[in-house]
Amino acid sequence: MKATEKNKEQCRKWYYKNREIISTRKKLYYQKNREQILRDLQRLASHLKWRQKLKRETLTHYGNGKLACVRCDNTDMRVLTLDHINGGGCKDRKSKPDFYSRLRKQGYPEGYQTLCMNCQFIKKFENKECRKRR
């Protein structure tokens, strides 16, 4: 057995042995810090709502004014993504995080389109953009 597996097993045994103590400590911590925990959860919910709004706005802009794939008109936002029309997405993805915010700050530059994942993979295959794996 590897050291990490052995350590995980020891931690698991300790946890099951001390479950009641851990549960009591968690309850006490929650009671003591309830207001801060609720503020953090509200902040997180607000941030997630803002991110969804930003994604919707960006995909709508690059979807020619509608929230849909430009090839097949799929409107399910869960599968819609931004595609680099001329390729090069790997370099762009590695350059900086927070892609949608950056595009908005740059005034939504040309060279992107809204595609669903299926259409994006089909385009990638048709244009032979598939990278060879070693």
pLDDT digits (tens, 9 = 90+) for 119-128: 998 988 888 7
On whether the CB atoms of residues 80 and 69 are closer than 8 A, the answer is yes
Q: Which domain does 91 fall in, by range?
A: 33-126
| Residue among 109, 104, 112, 107 nearest 86 (CA) | 112
Residue 19 placed within a domain: no
Residue 82 placed within a domain: yes
Q: What pLDDT, on the 0 to 100 scale, is given for residue 134?
A: 47
- Is a pLDDT exceeding 80 seen at residue 15? yes
Q: What pLDDT, on the 0 to 100 scale, is given for residue 63?
A: 92
- Is a pLDDT exceeding 80 seen at residue 94? no
Which token pair is 36? 């801060």
pLDDT digit string (tens) for 70-91? 999 999 999 999 988 887 666 6
List of residues 6+ apart from 87 with CB closer than 8 A: 127, 129
Phi-psi region of 88 (alpha: psi -120 to 50; beta: other; left: phi over 0): left
Residue 5 placed within a domain: no
Residue 98 placed within a domain: yes
Residue 26 placed within a domain: no
The CA distances from residue 126 to 40, 113, 123, in Å, are 46, 16, 5
3-class SS of residue 89? helix
Number of domains in the chain: 1
Residue 88 placed within a domain: yes
Compute the average pLDDT of residues 107-130: 88
Residue 6 placed within a domain: no
| Packing angle of the helix pair 34-62, 19-32 (nearest 10 deg) | 80
Q: What pLDDT, on the 0 to 100 scale, is given for residue 133?
A: 53
- Is a pLDDT exceeding 70 seen at residue 131? no
Residue 20 placed within a domain: no
